[in-house]
Structure 1
Amino acid sequence: MIWEELQQQIDARERDGLQRRRRTLEAPCGPLARVDGRDLISFCSNDYLGLANDPALIEAVCVGARTWGVGSGASHLVSGHLAAHEQLECELAAFTGFPRALLFSTGYMANLGIVPALVGRGDAVFADRLNHASLIDAVQLSRAEHRRYPHADVPALVRLLEASTAKRKLILTDAVFSMDGDIAPLAELLEIAERFDAWLVVDDAHGFGVLGPQGRGSVAHCGLPISERLIYMGTLGKAAGASGAFVAASELAVAWLLQTARTYIFTTGASPLIACALSASLRLIEHGDARRSQLVRLAAQLRAGLAGTRWRLLDSPTAIQPVIIGDNHEALRVAASLYDRGLWVPAIRPPTVAKGTARLRVSLSAAHTEAHVAKLVDALRDLA
């Protein structure tokens, strides 16, 4: 029976330490959480700049609701593209330096829209092996050939491109890798895209707002020029503190995506009040050097505090600080011990990461204090 098969598969996930559990947060997103009546210091969220509960965004939402109501009422290409959306797209293009930007409801939907719009059967996508699930799914949806190169291995990518006879080629990569916290070699990837007449699609979910001058993202951080073959995707539910995503690119590329990206065309436009909040968020990001400096200090404090212990930290210059445990069950035990001490740190296991590399994923926020990180360091040193 199909129901018995499902139960057996769920039981197997439990036995292998792979079962996921959802907790209900009883407080706004922030460094201090409340779950099941317990107060915790949270190192789970991607609210890197601490904007998710910022008064300026809350006020912008209230003004936006009074001005535009709550819903957009239709897809963008029917009647759901409001002036608040248009203003935000113009602001995002100016902020990132690209000629034009296009809003999407989520980063996942943006990626599912971009790749199939640019390549299809007979084409090839060359993807970093550690790319996010949304990028993997996007390639499958496109029906293009999927060639994966070892993580950040530029010579291997070149060899794959040299051997390819595909009509159109697309290089696909995260900018900041969400489980390792490292940054893709974007300058080299753009040079390779130019050499092989390929698109370069960059998913900057975890770099936008955090990296680069004024938080303009990983492309700015790596000093890339604005190229016609560069497609830049940034999410707005992490450092920007709200929700949604955008694609920034040349006028022609954005015009093509507007006409062909199915996840843009066939879905209701996001709430206009969120667009109002994001306009306010962009201003805070641009003037948020103090927040970004706080992130750097906290990461240095964590790394220095765990030096000399058995815990291995990956070489991450970002707000994502993975602590490698290895075994699934041990990662769960360590996370549970931290939880008992009032510290909420997620245990990440396969298939999100490779087998044998289960880890704690410490996500830092500018809203954390040195005291918060000190408590985490003390607990991890004790557990080591």
Structure 2
Amino acid sequence: MSDTVFDWLDAHAEDRRKAGLARQLRPRTPDNGVLDLAGNDYLGLARDKRVTGAAAAAALRWGAGSTGSRLVTGSTELHAELEFELARFCGTQAALVFSSGFAANLGAVTALSGRNCSIVTDSAIHASLIDGCRLSRAEIAVVGHKDPAAAERALATRRTERAVVVTDTVFSVDGDLAPLPDLITACRAHNAALIADDAHGLGVLGDGGRGAVHAAGLAGAPDVVTTITLSKSLGAQGGAVLGPRRVIRHLVDNARSFIFDTGLAPSSAAAALTALSILKEEPDRAERVRTVAVDLANRLRAAGLHASEPEAAVVSVRAPSPEAALRWSDDCRAAGIWVGCFRPPSVPDQISRLRLTARADLTESDITRAVQVITDHAPR
């Protein structure tokens, strides 16, 4: 037995530390008085008593966990109801709930591609989509960010019978939108399907928060599959794939991240259901979060910072280096504002940023306080 087999990890960790890229877990307390602009609770529903009450009641009724995979004991009436309501709200034929958005993306990409398929992806897609592509055994073509012409060229020159274009709808780093109308035109010109990850669009974009795919007029299209997460606008946990019934049937039989994974906890399903019902009753939350994002960005730019133009709920502010971004983030947190810190290799363009997430429940004083703190602690 050797105690040196993992010595290489120490050198790897030291290299990351020197480059300012070491990650750290920072457990938070239930009520720490810090204003959260780092999480993805876009509609302010994660702590809504209606949502938490539904989760607690479901846990008491159904148990703490789902007890098994969805195909064994892990499907409850709550899961079926959630799938029905998600499909109806987003305008698709059917939906399938997974234990996470990551698992939903893995399942959709791997099950709908394979060896005799080409996958064309935007260079800035989420890590879960990247991992799905790697596991798919398909031929992969990565094209420039938001470049539908390049996607069409890749489709036109493919060597496989089938093809799938994979994209985020709202890219998680800068919050910019994918050119969905142009991408679907390219897909239809070359008999390809479109898989669109709407994790950051659901609850924020479209009529009443129905998402970017709905806003683009593609809801219910026979050649479009949408993936979502339940952990952002709906304030819960889990993910789902939305699309034609035959696609959902295929995923039940073939998506390994669905078949072999323990089902979503009933409490999370109940929380997401309740949050969805609140969004239906209070659709102005979607417009409010977009307004807050634009306001944040405008004020930060007016203060001389390099803030992105938000098209959904995400605002990024560029930093001069990974070390500067980390110090900036730490200083903001010490001053009572929690912001995200994105550094390489998490960002495809290798530019470090603070990542701010707007929330529908932020007040005018919250926004003013956040802008002041971020500006006061900006690298000089």
Indicate whether the TM-score tops 0.5. Answer: yes
Residue 125 of structure 2 aligns to which amino acid in structure 1? N
Which of 28, 50, 55 matches 1:56?
50
1:100 positional shift = 0.8
Q: Distance in 1 between matches of 2:86 and 2:294?
A: 31
Residue 14 of structure 1 is matched in structure 2 by: 17
Residue 366 of structure 1 aligns to which amino acid in structure 2? A
Q: Distance in 2 between matches of 1:55 and 1:241?
A: 12
Per mean C-alpha deviation after superposition, the further-off stretch among 356-365 and 58-67 is 58-67
- Contact map agreement 2:170 2:177 (CA 8 A) in 1: yes
- Contact map agreement 1:230 1:249 (CA 8 A) in 2: yes
Residue 18 of structure 1 aligns to which amino acid in structure 2? L
Residue 213 of structure 1 aligns to which amino acid in structure 2? D
> Are residues 1:246 and 2:240 paired?
yes
Structure 1 residue matching 2:34: 3-state secondary structure: strand
Which consecutive residues of structure 1, in runs of 5 or more, have no partner in the other structure? Answer: 28-32
- Contact map agreement 1:214 1:287 (CA 8 A) in 2: no
Structure 2 residue matching 1:52: 3-state secondary structure: coil
- Structure 1 runs of 4+ with >6 Å offset: none
Structure 1 residue matching 2:196: 3-state secondary structure: strand
- Contact map agreement 1:64 1:273 (CA 8 A) in 2: yes
Residue 253 of structure 2 aligns to which amino acid in structure 1? Q
Which of 265, 281, 291 matches 1:271?
265
Which consecutive residues of structure 2, in runs of 5 or more, have no partner in the other structure? Answer: none
Residue 184 of structure 2 is matched in structure 1 by: 190
Matches within 5 A, 1:105-116: 105-116=99-110
> Are residues 1:180 and 2:174 paired?
yes
Per mean C-alpha deviation after superposition, the further-off stretch among 63-72 and 3-12 is 63-72
Residue 280 of structure 2 is matched in structure 1 by: 286
> Are residues 1:3 and 2:6 paired?
yes
Q: Distance in 2 between matches of 1:14 and 1:91?
A: 46
- Contact map agreement 2:314 2:357 (CA 8 A) in 1: yes
Q: Distance in 1 between matches of 2:60 and 2:106?
A: 33
Residue 295 of structure 1 is matched in structure 2 by: 289
Residue 113 of structure 2 is matched in structure 1 by: 119
- Contact map agreement 1:215 1:288 (CA 8 A) in 2: no
Residue 40 of structure 1 is matched in structure 2 by: 34
Residue 326 of structure 1 aligns to which amino acid in structure 2? P
Per mean C-alpha deviation after superposition, the further-off stretch among 50-59 and 264-273 is 264-273
Per mean C-alpha deviation after superposition, the further-off stretch among 149-158 and 323-332 is 323-332
Q: Distance in 2 between matches of 1:247 and 1:340?
A: 39
Rate the CA distance shift 1:272–1:340 in 2: closer, same or farther, 3 A.
closer
Rate the CA distance shift 1:91–1:131 in 2: closer, same or farther, 3 A.
same
- Contact map agreement 2:297 2:309 (CA 8 A) in 1: no
Per-residue deviation, residues 358-381 of structure 1 (Å, max 9, x unmatched) = 000011111222211111212233
1:333 positional shift = 2.0
Q: Distance in 1 between matches of 2:250 and 2:263?
A: 18
1:159 positional shift = 1.1
Q: Distance in 1 between matches of 2:142 and 2:14?
A: 32
Per-residue deviation, residues 205-224 of structure 1 (Å, max 9, x unmatched) = 11111111111111112222
Residue 144 of structure 1 aligns to which amino acid in structure 2? A
Residue 337 of structure 1 is matched in structure 2 by: 331
Structure 1 residue matching 2:251: 3-state secondary structure: helix
Rate the CA distance shift 1:274–1:337 in 2: closer, same or farther, 3 A.
closer
1:165 positional shift = 1.6
Q: TM-score, normalised by structure 2?
A: 0.95
Structure 1 residue matching 2:6: 3-state secondary structure: helix
Residue 259 of structure 1 aligns to which amino acid in structure 2? D
Residue 234 of structure 1 is matched in structure 2 by: 228
Query: Number of paired residues?
Result: 375
Residue 359 of structure 1 is matched in structure 2 by: 353
- Give identity over the alignment, percent: 36
Structure 1 residue matching 2:319: 3-state secondary structure: strand
Q: Distance in 1 between matches of 2:62 and 2:176?
A: 40
Residue 203 of structure 2 is matched in structure 1 by: 209
Residue 30 of structure 1 is matched in structure 2 by: none
Structure 2 residue matching 1:307: 3-state secondary structure: helix
Q: Distance in 1 between matches of 2:155 and 2:350?
A: 31
1:155 positional shift = 0.9
> Are residues 1:76 and 2:70 paired?
yes
Per-residue deviation, residues 74-116 of structure 1 (Å, max 9, x unmatched) = 2221232111111111111111111111110001111111111
Per-residue deviation, residues 285-343 of structure 1 (Å, max 9, x unmatched) = 12233322332332232122223444211222211000011311111222222223221
Q: Distance in 2 between matches of 1:86 and 1:379?
A: 45
Rate the CA distance shift 1:354–1:256 in 2: closer, same or farther, 3 A.
closer
- Contact map agreement 1:174 1:184 (CA 8 A) in 2: yes
Matches within 5 A, 1:19-34: 19-27=22-30, 34=32
Residue 308 of structure 2 aligns to which amino acid in structure 1? L
1:268 positional shift = 1.8
1:244 positional shift = 0.6
Matches within 5 A, 1:299-338: 299-338=293-332
- Contact map agreement 1:177 1:206 (CA 8 A) in 2: yes
